[in-house]
């Protein structure tokens, strides 16, 4: 409900003209009030400014909300108590009405003064008999208040009354548009239109959309534009991501400080890009998505008390402690380094047990090919057979240059200040885990979220946070098990370079042997970086794309199963949540926009439960391990789980000891079949 609550709050404050420097404008108005304490115009202007500023802050402003609204309430009470607001003159009536509206607006933001605000506005509505315009404005103010605290039926009734009472012509006619939008917003929030819901509520969301569309664009408020975007994306069949993107663009242009709206704009635009089948990265949709994502991350990083700023302070202390510890261990490390050659030569055990691993036609493992054997490489790619290219960099010097390019020092230099989203694996290094639906049903019920029928399992996704690249590198170097209150192992997981870190693209080149294979039906889709301190596990899943994984540093072990073995791996639709969903109240809807996923196998391949998944014993998998300098081909639709690891020797040299680059391709010929 957190997102719905923020959507409610955004509707509650009236739109105000944004000054070039809001803080300076407020300071100037306060100076004017101090210079002329009996003047009322600067007090009203300051009140309007402060409430408009709160509307623009949105998420993260709650800490300052009470203080700002207390100031407004005090100023407006001064105005109402002054002789200038007494009497029947039109000037006194206008002043009294403005102060009444603003006082009611300030009171409604403070939950502790809810009853006081309701009573205050109801009496003001009763007293107003001379102007239907002013009466309708007060009704709308009370409707906003009831909407804020989820009295949705009463809010819709008040909006309807205000729409009927407001004059039909002149400047006051805009009140009718506000009332209609308010009614539509109450209906949309009641039906949870900001996320996918049932067919029944989908119809209600479509009815709300019709009401929104009856309001001329020039009178449509920012929250209304955003809600239109949600409905166009989640409640039309087929979805309209382009329309959702356009609506979100209008909303963010009007209220540019709403971080979550920028994230949504980025998601809508990226889906529009995918549906356009544009494979490039210079089209309108993808450029819109990139810019919106960067704006959202910048806003998140700058928020007072934000997770990014707290992490910055925490890491500064951790880095200082780590530096002292490093000095104290200098002598010990010299002795440990002397034993590196012996340690690196030790055999490594598999991350996956023998159960579920059989002779996949090539024994327990993948075909190994020399990078110089172009004919065989091409043949295996065409036949869609998994294989490993050992020492794919062709020479030790080339591998050394590759590792230097992707070292922590170079990454900090090139993209250290860039903001990226990382995942926090759980304490066992698992990104995704499965839990019975019964453990989460009360959470879904509490948030009025109807899961698709027939689901028995919940896919628990990792906690995700935005931080700077240098923060990630410092987390890995200091070995912290938590970051500003978030526990887990940090992992830059499947981070698309064009989209997230384009400055690193000059360091990347498609493997020569892929280019030499001459595969005209293969279209490049994405290039991703995977960076961690090792010990992370990606659960069993299936991708439709052809995958070339190049291991820069550290090791990855893949457990691969051919597509036809799906029945042994227990795939089924699951509801998705995040590990912190119970705390945030956020429903995970994923890229599908539905909140469910069907491309994950339920078997825990590291600790399989054969009582729950007895057919897994018949699965015939291949364990394929790649080390620094190696590459692996995973054909599209092959099921795979991945464990990333580092030796202690590798960790001593580089904290970001596991780095992989993967190249995804769409085989248009295969997809057309």
Query: If you average pLDDT over every residue of the chain, what do you get?
Result: 80
pLDDT in tens, 90-139: 787 788 888 887 887 777 666 667 777 788 888 888 888 777 888 888 88
pLDDT score for 325: 61
Q: Is the pLDDT of residue 527 over 80?
A: yes
What value, to the nearest 5°, has the Cα angle with vertex 293 and ends 291 and 294? 65
Tell me how far apart the alpha carbons of residues 570 and 422 are, in angstroms, rounded to a whole number.
Answer: 28
pLDDT in tens, 30-55: 888 888 888 888 888 888 777 764 44
Query: H or E element: which one contains 354?
Result: none
Q: Kindly tell me the sign of the dihedral angle through the C-alpha atoms of 185, 186, 188, 194.
A: positive
Tell me how far apart the alpha carbons of residues 648 and 479 are, in angstroms, rounded to a whole number.
Answer: 13
Largest separation between any pair of C-alpha atoms in the chain: 96
Report which of residues 655 and 353 the model is more confident about.
655
Report which of residues 329 and 345 the model is more confident about.
329
pLDDT in tens, 265-275: 998 998 888 88
Tell me how far apart the alpha carbons of residues 117 and 112 are, in angstroms, rounded to a whole number.
Answer: 10
Q: Tell me the three state secondary structure of residue 350.
A: coil
Q: What is the mean pLDDT of residues 537-556?
A: 94
Q: Which residues pair with 666 in a beta bridge?
A: 523
Strands 555-561 and 622-626: antiparallel
Structural domains of the chain in order of their starting residue, each with its CATH number = 2-238 (1.25.40.10), 311-672 (2.60.120.10)
Among residues 622, 616, 618, the alpha carbon closest in space to that of 635 is found at: 622
Confidence of residue 371 (pLDDT cuts 50, 70, 90): confident
Q: Kindly tell me the sign of the dihedral angle through the C-alpha atoms of 112, 116, 118, 124.
A: negative
**Percentage of residues of the chain with pLDDT beyond 70:** 82
Q: What is the mean pLDDT of residues 153-182?
A: 74
Report which of residues 198 and 377 the model is more confident about.
377
Peptide bond preceding 238 in cis form (omega within 30 of 0): yes
Q: Is the pLDDT of residue 69 over 50?
A: yes
pLDDT score for 330: 56
Comparing 245-249, 327-331, 342-346, 408-412, which segment has the lowest mean pLDDT? 342-346
pLDDT in tens, 575-602: 888 888 877 766 665 544 455 577 899 9
Q: Kindly tell me the sign of the dihedral angle through the C-alpha atoms of 563, 569, 570, 572.
A: negative
Tell me how far apart the alpha carbons of residues 640 and 625 are, in angstroms, rounded to a whole number.
Answer: 12
Q: Is 238 exposed, middle or buried (0-12, 13-18, 19+ CB in 10 A)?
A: exposed
pLDDT score for 255: 86
Confidence of residue 15 (pLDDT cuts 50, 70, 90): very low
Comparing 17-21, 199-203, 230-234, which segment has the lowest mean pLDDT? 17-21
Q: Which residues pair with 665 in a beta bridge?
A: 524, 546
**DSSP string of 59-75, one letter each residue:** TT-HHHHHHHHHHHHHH
Side-chain-side CA neighbours of 64 within 13 Å: the count stands at 15
Confidence of residue 562 (pLDDT cuts 50, 70, 90): very high
Report which of residues 231 and 61 the model is more confident about.
231
pLDDT score for 534: 94
Tell me how far apart the alpha carbons of residues 545 and 665 are, in angstroms, rounded to a whole number.
Answer: 6
Q: Is 583 exposed, middle or buried (0-12, 13-18, 19+ CB in 10 A)?
A: exposed
Side-chain-side CA neighbours of 609 within 13 Å: the count stands at 8
Q: Is the pLDDT of residue 551 over 80?
A: yes
Tell me how far apart the alpha carbons of residues 449 and 582 are, in angstroms, rounded to a whole number.
Answer: 13
pTM: 0.72
Alpha helices in 349-395 (DSSP H): 374-383
């Amino acid at each position: 409900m957190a997102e719905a609550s923020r959507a409610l709050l955004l509707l509650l404050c009236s739109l105000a003209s944004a000054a070039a420097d809001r803080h300076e404008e407020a300071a100037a108005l306060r100076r004017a009030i101090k210079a002329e304490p009996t003047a009322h115009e600067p007090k009203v202007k300051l009140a309007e400014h402060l409430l408009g500023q709160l509307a623009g802050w949105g998420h993260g402003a709650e800490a300052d909300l009470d203080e700002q609204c207390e100031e407004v309430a005090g100023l407006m009470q001064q105005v109402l108590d002054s002789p200038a607001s007494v009497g029947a003159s039109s000037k006194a009536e206008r002043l009294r009405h403005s102060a009444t509206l603003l006082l009611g607006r300030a009171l409604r933001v403070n939950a502790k003064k809810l009853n006081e605000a309701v009573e205050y506005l109801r009496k003001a509505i009763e007293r107003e008999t001379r102007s239907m315009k002013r009466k309708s404005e007060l009704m709308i103010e009370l409707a906003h208040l009831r909407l804020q605290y989820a009295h949705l039926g009463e809010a819709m009734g008040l909006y309807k009354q205000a729409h009927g009472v407001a004059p039909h012509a002149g400047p006051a006619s805009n009140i009718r548009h506000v009332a209609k939008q308010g009614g539509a917003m109450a209906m949309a929030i009641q039906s949870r239109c900001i996320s996918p819901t049932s067919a029944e509520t989908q119809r209600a969301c479509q009815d709300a959309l019709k009401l929104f569309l009856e309001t001329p664009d020039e009178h449509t408020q920012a929250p209304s534009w955003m809600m239109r975007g949600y409905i166009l994306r989640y409640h039309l069949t087929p979805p309209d991501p382009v329309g959702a993107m356009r609506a979100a663009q209008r909303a963010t242009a009007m209220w540019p400080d709403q971080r979550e709206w920028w994230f949504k704009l980025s998601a809508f635009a990226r889906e529009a890009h995918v549906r356009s089948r544009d494979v490039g990265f210079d089209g309108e949709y993808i450029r819109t998505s990139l810019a919106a994502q960067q704006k959202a991350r910048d806003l998140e990083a700058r928020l007072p008390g934000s997770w990014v700023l707290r992490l910055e302070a925490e890491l500064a202390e951790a880095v200082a402690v780590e530096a002292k510890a490093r000095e104290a261990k200098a002598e010990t490390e010299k002795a440990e380094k002397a034993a590196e050659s012996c340690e690196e030569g030790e055999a490594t055990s598999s991350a996956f047990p023998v159960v579920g691993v059989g002779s996949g036609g090539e024994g327990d493992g993948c075909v190994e090919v020399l990078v110089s054997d172009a004919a065989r490489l091409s043949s295996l790619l065409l036949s869609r057979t998994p294989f490993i290219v050992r020492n794919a960099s062709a020479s030790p010097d080339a591998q050394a240059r590759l590792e230097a390019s992707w070292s922590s020092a170079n990454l900090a230099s090139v993209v250290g200040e860039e903001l990226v989203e990382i995942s926090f694996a759980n304490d066992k290094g698992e990104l995704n885990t499965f839990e019975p639906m019964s453990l989460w049903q009360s959470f879904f019920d509490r948030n009025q979220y109807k899961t698709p029928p027939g689901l028995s399992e919940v896919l628990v996704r990792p906690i995700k946070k935005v931080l700077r690249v240098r923060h990630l590198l410092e987390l890995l170097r200091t070995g912290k098990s938590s970051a500003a209150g978030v526990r887990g192992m940090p992992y830059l997981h499947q981070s698309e370079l064009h989209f997230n870190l384009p400055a690193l693209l000059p360091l990347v080149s498609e493997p020569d042997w892929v280019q030499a294979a001459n595969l005209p039906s293969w279209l490049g889709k994405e290039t991703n970086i995977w960076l961690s301190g090792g010990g992370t596990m990606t659960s069993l899943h299936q991708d439709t794309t052809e995958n070339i994984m190049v291991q820069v540093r550290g090791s990855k072990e893949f457990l691969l199963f051919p597509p036809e073995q799906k029945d042994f791996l227990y795939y089924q639709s699951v509801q998705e949540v995040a590990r912190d969903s119970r705390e945030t109240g956020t429903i995970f809807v994923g890229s599908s926009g539905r909140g469910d996923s069907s491309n994950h196998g339920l078997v825990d391949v590291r600790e399989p439960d054969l009582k729950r998944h007895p057919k897994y014993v018949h699965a015939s998998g291949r364990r394929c391990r790649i080390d620094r300098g190696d590459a692996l081909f995973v054909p599209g639709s092959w099921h795979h789980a991945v464990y990333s690891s580092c030796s202690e020797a590798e960790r001593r040299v580089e904290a970001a000891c596991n780095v992989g680059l993967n190249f995804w391709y769409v085989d248009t010929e295969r997809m057309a079949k």
